[in-house]
């Protein structure tokens, strides 16, 4: 069985996912997923997938009545505008990633779904209609609760629509008076292959762009060292140099590094340039390092008794811990020092610990990805247990640190506070730290650069299915009731069961079944795109992966056999130029323009000649360019569960 798994998962190591930047997915303005209602709302007339319940519907109705709109035609349009809050795509309509909170959706100036200029229609119908407390504000001061007309508040239709209008062609959706329907039939073609260049031979788990906006990056490895390095520009022919003997920070004395342990995450405070704060997530061994010790995640609060757990790989329960530590880089020549321990939690088993940390680009909070703790089929059902932090994504406020007495009073796991709008405010059964639940092992996640409200995670499967999820506030992603979209039956369940009828799982936007792998084909790459564009329908396509002939470090021979020379893909990274990098066991690779490997891509820009060492271009390809369009981390999200660690997950069962 083990040898078969080794063969299968060695072939899965090179799967990646590319999302189109304009793809849309149902999400509400509160960052939650829409829910299903079997009855039609009485006022807003939404049924099925919606972001409003009956109370929301009544509140919108009351708001509408309070406006006292004098013209029925205007009233009908403004009713639809108010009800756009209920649309399952309301996060897109209201542009929730915007710094400013909108009171109305983006009104279509033009749209591919409808030829009507809806914003102009609103102006034409409402400019002479009187109403109280307009949703649209005013360019002129007016008394509170005053009655006025659009033409009194705004100078012209063009000014009004410049302020409130938008276009679906701008990379998102807009409101045209009807429920959003993403039915565009335009099908875009993926590139004929993905081209890489190798710039370093080292093996790293984490890559973070320097917050100062320069071409420098931080790299960290599994044993616990962090380096600062400069990324050469694409096409320069230069390699990325890392001084192995002079790390930025060396935590190897604190970090316990083994098959599924080590330094797992690295994140820099949004204001790092001013405060020098950064954070590392790693595993430690309390036997070798007494400062490691913390509370065990198997405890009476979650219905687990550590004394009843057997040793795992020779280790007693909660010998190993997951830690987030804060460090300070004060700008001097001195090495960074640990400031405080943000989080410490003992682990019941020796696998499935996640460990990635990210700062939310909108809220500035720290997100912490945690696996189910290990064991076949999450035997203690930690992922569905709302009192356990295992199998969860947490959201922590590290800018407001409570006093020691307050931390003890709140029963926190370290030096942080809990954001007041975490899901526990709606579901008091949830531990306050939890942002989303139902994960097996969320190894790598990313916020979309174009729309930061879209939070994407790859979750490691058990035996059948690997998945990619769009994570929303309070969302339940099914494990261990489901493995991807399939019901899962655990072989043992001393921690009890959760029935499928007791949860409302959010299924993955895409993934793959292990049975779909073509063994004869060997290593492959999978791109996931929204097809047709703006349809909300994600599909996958296999493409070739190759090494550029003019790669700074030659790697063409690595791709010459049926098994790719990338080795095991650990993670991915992005620099301040928005170039994408693969972090693998064989080195650091940059994704470069397809034409450098003789691949054809319709979106490759034609602005500059190829390096003299580049291969000749086929006549069917576009002329060469400086680089492929800048993909966001959402667009090029690697199936991180196909990394070295996922191989180990399956080999230890």
**Digit-coded pLDDT (tens) for 482-530:** 999 999 999 989 988 999 999 999 999 888 887 776 665 544 444 457 5
User: Angle 641-6-12 (CA atoms, 0-180°, nearest 5)?
Assistant: 40
Where does 114-269 show beta strands of DSSP type E?
A: 131-132, 147-148, 165-167, 193-200, 206-209, 216-220, 225-230, 249-250, 263-268
Q: In this predicted structure, what is the pLDDT of residue 639? A: 34
Q: Report yes or no: 611 and 235 within 8 Å, Cβ to Cβ.
A: yes
Output the CA–CA distances (angstroms, integers) from residue 108 to 116, 154, 166, 169, 221, in the order listed. Answer: 8, 18, 5, 10, 48
Residue 629 has pLDDT above 70, yes or no: no
* Domain annotation covers residue 106: yes
Domain around 160:
21-166
Give the predicted TM-score (pTM) of the model: 0.83
Residue 623 in domain = no
Angle at 168 between CA 164 and CA 172, to 5 degrees: 90
Q: How far apart are CA 420 and CA 409, in angstroms?
A: 17
pLDDT surpasses 50 at 376: yes
- Closest alpha carbon to 189 in 620, 600, 634: 600
Residue 613 lies in a domain: no
Q: Give the pLDDT confidence score for residue 499 in this predicted structure.
A: 95
Per-residue confidence (pLDDT) for residue 592, from 0 to 100: 94
What is the per-residue pLDDT across 50-108, written as a single tens digit (0 to 9) for each? 999 999 999 999 999 999 999 999 999 999 999 999 999 998 898 887 656 678 999 99
Over 60: is that where the pLDDT of 11 sits?
no
β-bridge pairing 249-250 and 442-447: unpaired
Nearest CA to 345 among 401, 391, 313, 406? 391
Residue 187 confidence (pLDDT): 59
Mean pLDDT of the chain: 82
Q: Is residue 146 part of a domain?
A: yes
Number of domains the chain is built from = 1
pLDDT surpasses 70 at 628: no
Alpha helices in 362-509 (DSSP H): 404-410
Residue 453: per-residue pLDDT: 80
- At residue 116, the pLDDT reads 63
Q: For residue 112, what pLDDT band results from cuts at 50, 70 and 90?
A: very low
> 184 vs 270, which has greater pLDDT?
270
pLDDT of 15 above 50: no
pLDDT of residue 616: 32
Least confident of 11-15, 21-25, 208-212, 539-543: 11-15
Residue 356 domain-assigned (yes or no): no
What DSSP string runs through 53-100? Answer: -HHHHHHHHHHHHHH--S-HHHHHHHHHHHHGGGSTTHHHHTTTTSSS
Residue pointed to by tokens 């020779």: 314
32 assigned to some structural domain: yes
- Which of 581, 645, 647, 637 lies closest to 222, judged by CA? 645
Question: What does the alpha-carbon distance between residue 271 and residue 294 come to, in Å, rounded to a whole number?
Answer: 29
**303 part of a folded domain:** no
| Rounded-to-integer distance, Cα 609 and Cα 626, Å | 8
pLDDT digits (tens, 9 = 90+) for 288-342: 999 999 999 999 999 999 999 989 988 999 999 999 999 999 765 678 999 999 9
Q: Residue 353: inside a domain, yes or no? A: no
């Amino acid at each position: 069985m083990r040898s078969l798994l080794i063969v299968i998962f060695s072939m899965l190591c090179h799967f990646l996912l590319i999302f189109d930047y304009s793809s849309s997915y149902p999400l509400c303005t509160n960052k939650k997923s829409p829910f299903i209602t079997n009855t039609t709302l009485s006022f807003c007339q939404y049924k099925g997938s919606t972001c409003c319940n009956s109370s929301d519907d009544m509140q919108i109705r009351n708001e509408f009545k309070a406006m006292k709109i004098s013209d029925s035609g205007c009233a009908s349009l403004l009713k639809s505008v108010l009800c756009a809050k209920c649309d399952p795509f309301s996060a897109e309509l209201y542009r929730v990633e915007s710094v400013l909170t909108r009171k109305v959706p983006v009104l279509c100036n033009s749209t591919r779904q409808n030829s009507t200029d809806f914003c102009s229609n609103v102006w034409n119908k409402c400019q002479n209609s009187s109403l109280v407390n307009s949703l649209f504000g005013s360019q002129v001061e007016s008394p509170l609760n005053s009655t006025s007309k659009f033409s009194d508040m705004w100078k012209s239709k063009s000014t009004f629509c410049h302020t409130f209008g938008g276009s679906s062609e701008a990379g998102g959706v807009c409101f045209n008076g009807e429920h959003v329907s993403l039915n565009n039939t335009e099908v875009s073609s993926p590139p004929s292959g993905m081209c890489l260049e190798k710039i370093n031979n080292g093996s790293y788990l984490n890559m973070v762009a320097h917050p100062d906006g320069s071409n420098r990056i931080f790299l960290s490895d599994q044993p616990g060292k962090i380096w600062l390095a400069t990324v050469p520009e694409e096409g320069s022919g230069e390699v990325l140099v890392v001084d192995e003997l002079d790390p930025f920070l060396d935590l190897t004395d604190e970090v316990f590094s083994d098959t599924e342990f080590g330094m797992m995450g690295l994140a820099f405070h949004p204001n790092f340039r001013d405060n020098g704060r950064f954070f590392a997530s790693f595993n430690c061994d309390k036997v070798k390092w007494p400062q490691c010790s913390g509370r065990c995640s198997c405890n009476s609060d979650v219905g687990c008794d550590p004394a009843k757990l057997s040793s795992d790989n020779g280790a007693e329960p909660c010998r190993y811990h997951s830690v987030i530590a804060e460090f300070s880089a004060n700008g001097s020549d001195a090495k960074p020092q640990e400031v405080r321990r943000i989080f410490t939690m003992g682990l019941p088993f020796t696998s499935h610990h996640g460990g990635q940390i990210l700062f939310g680009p909108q809220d500035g909070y720290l997100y912490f990805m945690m696996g189910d703790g290990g064991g076949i089929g999450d035997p203690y059902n930690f992922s569905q247990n709302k009192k356990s932090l295992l199998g969860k994504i947490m959201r922590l406020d590290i800018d407001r640190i409570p006093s020691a007495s307050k931390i003890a009073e709140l029963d926190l796991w370290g030096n942080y506070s809990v954001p007041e709008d975490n899901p526990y405010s709606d579901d008091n059964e949830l531990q306050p730290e939890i942002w989303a639940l139902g994960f097996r092992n969320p190894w790598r996640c990313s916020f979309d650069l174009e729309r930061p409200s879209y939070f994407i995670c790859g979750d490691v499967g058990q035996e059948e299915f690997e998945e990619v999820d769009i994570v929303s506030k309070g969302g339940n992603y099914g494990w261990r009731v489901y493995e991807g979209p399939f019901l899962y039956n655990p072989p043992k369940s001393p921690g009890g069961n959760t029935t499928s009828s007791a949860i409302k799982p959010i299924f993955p936007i895409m993934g793959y079944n292990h049975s779909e792998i073509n063994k004869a084909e060997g290593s492959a790459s999978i791109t996931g795109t929204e097809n047709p564009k703006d349809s909300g329908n994600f599909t996958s396509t296999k493409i070739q992966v190759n090494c550029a002939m003019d790669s700074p470090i030659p790697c063409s021979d690595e791709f010459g056999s049926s098994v790719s020379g990338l080795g095991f893909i650990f993670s991915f990274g992005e620099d301040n130029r928005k170039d994408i990098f693969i972090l693998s066991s064989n080195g650091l690779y940059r994704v470069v323009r397809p034409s450098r490997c003789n691949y054809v891509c319709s979106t490759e820009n034609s602005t500059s000649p190829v390096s003299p060492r580049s291969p000749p271009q086929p006549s069917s390809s576009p002329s060469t360019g400086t680089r492929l369009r800048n993909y966001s981390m959402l667009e090029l999200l690697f199936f991180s569960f196909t990394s070295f660690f996922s191989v180990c997950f399956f080999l230890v069962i």
